[in-house]
Structure 1
C-alpha cells in the first residue's frame, strides 16, 4: 500500500479524529497570519496555557461524562464554589494555602457524590440533576462569599496557576529544562505510538505504512518542540502545564486501558448491552460524577489561583466551553465515542479562536457568535458521519 493510499484509508476510516487535527492546524495557521505572528509569540503561547488550562481540566472530566451518555451543566458553578471555599479559609480565616486546596477538593468530592447519587441511584436524568446543581452551587457560592469578592491569595497559592519552573539547567535566551521536558514528552509519544502500532500488527489490524507513521511522529515532535521552545523563550515551564500533562496521561490510560474506562464506553454505546454484560451501571455512573466533581474542584483551584481571588460570578459559562471542547474534539452526542486527547485538541481550538479574536480586537458579541457556530458545525459533522455510516441520507 502506497503512502497516499494509506493516508486516504486512514482519513476515511477515522474522519472524525483526522479532521480535528487538520482543523486545528488550519485554525492556528489562519490566526497566526491574521495576527501577524503574535499568536505564536513566546509570551502569547505562555498566556494561552495559563488562561485556558482550567477549561482543559474541565474538558477531561466532561469527556468521560459525555462518553457515558450524560451531560454536566453545573461545572462552572462548582468551579466558583470550590474557589470560594478555598478563599474563605485561606484569605478570611488565615489558614495555610494547602488547607484551602484540600478543602476545595473535598467540596468537589461532596458535589460529585451528591449529583452521582441522584443520577445513578434515584434515576433522574443528568441534565436535570446538573441543571439543578448549577443553580444550587451558584447560590451556595453567594452564601459562602457573602456576595463579595475575596483577594488576594498568598504567593504559594498563586504559584499553582502562575508559577514557572525555569533556570534549573541554565540556558542563554531560553530555558534548557523546558526543552528537556519537551524532548522527554516526544520520546514517550514515539515509544507509545510504536508499541500501539506493533500491537495492532500483532492482531492483524490495519495500520498506516511505516513512512507515514514516521512522518506523523516527526510532525508531532516538531510541533511539541516548537511549542516547548516558545515557552522556554518566555518564562519557562508553567507549573499548571505539568499538572495538565499528568491529568491527560493519567486519564488517557484510565479511559483506554482500565476496566472502568471500558465500562464507561459500554454504557454510552449501548446501555442495554452493558447491563446484559454484567456492567454495574449504577456504580459506574456514580463514579463518573464523583470524578467530574473532583476535576471541577481542581479547575476551581487553578482558576482562583490564576485570578488571585474568588468572585461570586467565577466560572460563568465554563460548562459550555468544556462541552464545546468535547464535541469539537470528536465526541458523539449520543455517547460511547470520544477521547481525552480529542477533547484537549477541541479545547485548544476554542482557546486559539478566542485568543486570536481578542488579539484582533473583535467584539465579544461576534466572538460568541463564532464559537456558537463552530460548536453547531462540530455536532452537525457528528450527525452527518452517523447517517453516512448507517446508509441514511
Structure 2
C-alpha cells in the first residue's frame, strides 16, 4: 500500500479508530490557544496526571465490562467504600500504610465477586445489579466512616498518588531519571510495533506502507519524549503514572493477546455464537466484575491518597466519567467493540477538557453541559459509523 492510500483510509475506512486521536489532538490545540499555552505547561501537565489518574484506572476495567455488553454504575461508590476501609485501618487503627492499600484492593475484589455472582450465575442484568451496588456501597461507606471524614494519612500513603521519583535531579533544571524512562518507553513502543508489523507480514496480513509506519513512530516518539521532557522540568516522574503505565500495558496484553480477552470480545460481539463455541460465559462475566472491583480498589487507594483522607461523598459521578471515557474512546453501546488504548485516550479527552475549562474559569455547570454534549456526539458518531458500514455491504 502507498502512503496516499493509507492516509485516505485513515479518514474513511479507519475513521472509527483514528477519529478519537484526531479529535484529541484538535482539543489539545484548541485549549492550548484558549489558555495562552498554560494547558501544556510542565506544572499543569503534572497536575493533569495527578488529578485524573483514577478515572483512567476505572476506564481500564470499564472498557472490559462494556465490551462484554454490560455496564457498571457502582464503581464511584466502590471507590469511596474501599478508600473508607483503608482509612479506618491506617488512620483509626494505626496499621501500616501498605496494609491499608491491600485492604482496599481486597475489599474491591470481594465486592466485584458479589456483583459478578448476581450477574453471571443468577442472571440479573448488570445495570440492575450495579445500580443496587451503587446504593449498597455508598451506604456501607457512610456506615464504615460513621458519617464523618477521616484524615490525614501518613506520608508514605500520600506518596502513592502524590509522590515523585526524581533521584537524578541535578543542577541542570530537569530530572534525568524521568528523561531516561521516556527514552525507554519510546524504544519499547517502537520495538513492539516493529515486531507486530513483521508478524502480520509473516502471516500475509495487510499492513500500512513503510513510510506511514515510520511517520507514525516518529510522531509518537516526539509526543512521548516531549511529554516526559515536560514532566522532567516540573517535579519528576509521578509514582501514580508508573502505576497507571503498568496497568495500561497489562490490560492491553490481556485484551489483545490472551484467551480471556478474546472471550470477552466474543461474548459482546455475539453471545449465542460464543456459547456455541464453548466459551464459559458465566465464568468470564464473573471474572470481568471481579476485575472491575479490583481496579475500583486501586482507584480508591489512589483517590484517598490524593485527597489525603476518606469522605462519605467521595467518588461521586466517577462511574459516569469512566463510562464516558470508554464511549468517547470508541466503545460500542451494543458491546463487542472497544480497546484499552481508546478508553485511555477517551479519558484523556475528558481530562484535558475539564482541566482546560478550569484554567479558563468556566463554571461547573457549563463544564457538565460540555461533557454531556461530547458524550452524546461520541455515541452518535458510533451509530453513524455502524449505519455507514451497513450501507456499504
- For Structure 1 versus Structure 2, the TM-score category normalised by the shorter chain is over 0.9
Query: Against the structure 1 CA distance between its residues 371 and 17, is the aligned structure 2 distance closer, same or farther, given a 3 Å change threshold?
Result: same
Shift of 1:392: 8.5
Q: Deviation per CA, 1:129-175, whole angstroms, max 9, x where unpaired?
A: 00000000000000000000000000000000000000336451111
d(CA) in 2 for partners of 1:97, 1:190: 38
Matches for 1:208-227 after TM superposition, within 5 Å = 208-227=208-227
**Which residue number corresponds to residue 77 of structure 2?**
77
Shift of 1:390: 1.1
Q: Deviation per CA, 1:226-245, whole angstroms, max 9, x where unpaired?
A: 10000000000000000000
Q: Deviation per CA, 1:55-80, whole angstroms, max 9, x where unpaired?
A: 00000000000011100000000000
Task: Compare 347-356 and 190-199 and name the one that shifted more.
Answer: 190-199
1:250 aligns with 2:250: yes
d(CA) in 2 for partners of 1:198, 1:54: 35
Q: Deviation per CA, 1:283-333, whole angstroms, max 9, x where unpaired?
A: 000000000000000000000000000000000000000000000001111
d(CA) in 2 for partners of 1:25, 1:4: 21
Matches for 1:189-268 after TM superposition, within 5 Å = 189-268=189-268
1:157 aligns with 2:165: no
Query: Against the structure 1 CA distance between its residues 12 and 206, is the aligned structure 2 distance closer, same or farther, given a 3 Å change threshold?
Result: farther
SS of alignment partner, residue 12 of structure 2: helix
**Which residue number corresponds to residue 186 of structure 1?**
186
d(CA) in 2 for partners of 1:392, 1:154: 60
Unaligned runs of 5+ in 2: none
What is the RMSD computed on CA atoms of the aligned residues?
A: 1.1
d(CA) in 1 for partners of 2:51, 2:216: 29
Matches for 1:281-296 after TM superposition, within 5 Å = 281-296=281-296
TM-score, normalisation: structure 2: 0.98
**Which residue number corresponds to residue 352 of structure 2?**
352
d(CA) in 1 for partners of 2:199, 2:382: 28
Is the 1:170–1:177 Cα contact (8 Å) retained in structure 2?
Answer: no
Matches for 1:239-388 after TM superposition, within 5 Å = 239-388=239-388
Shift of 1:206: 1.8
d(CA) in 2 for partners of 1:40, 1:222: 15
Unaligned runs of 5+ in 1: none
**Which residue number corresponds to residue 3 of structure 1?**
3
SS of alignment partner, residue 283 of structure 1: helix
**Which residue number corresponds to residue 38 of structure 2?**
38
d(CA) in 2 for partners of 1:101, 1:308: 13
**Which residue number corresponds to residue 118 of structure 1?**
118
Is the 1:331–1:337 Cα contact (8 Å) retained in structure 2?
Answer: yes
d(CA) in 2 for partners of 1:304, 1:80: 8
Shift of 1:127: 0.3
Shift of 1:4: 1.6
Is the 1:10–1:208 Cα contact (8 Å) retained in structure 2?
Answer: no
d(CA) in 2 for partners of 1:167, 1:301: 25
Shift of 1:181: 0.4
Task: Compare 375-384 and 165-174 and name the one that shifted more.
Answer: 165-174
Is the 1:34–1:360 Cα contact (8 Å) retained in structure 2?
Answer: yes
Matches for 1:77-96 after TM superposition, within 5 Å = 77-96=77-96
SS of alignment partner, residue 11 of structure 2: helix
SS of alignment partner, residue 331 of structure 1: coil
Shift of 1:205: 2.0
Q: Deviation per CA, 1:104-145, whole angstroms, max 9, x where unpaired?
A: 111101101100000000000000000000000000000000
Shift of 1:98: 1.1
d(CA) in 1 for partners of 2:4, 2:353: 31
**Which residue number corresponds to residue 389 of structure 1?**
389
d(CA) in 2 for partners of 1:270, 1:170: 56
Task: Compare 187-196 and 296-305 and name the one that shifted more.
Answer: 187-196
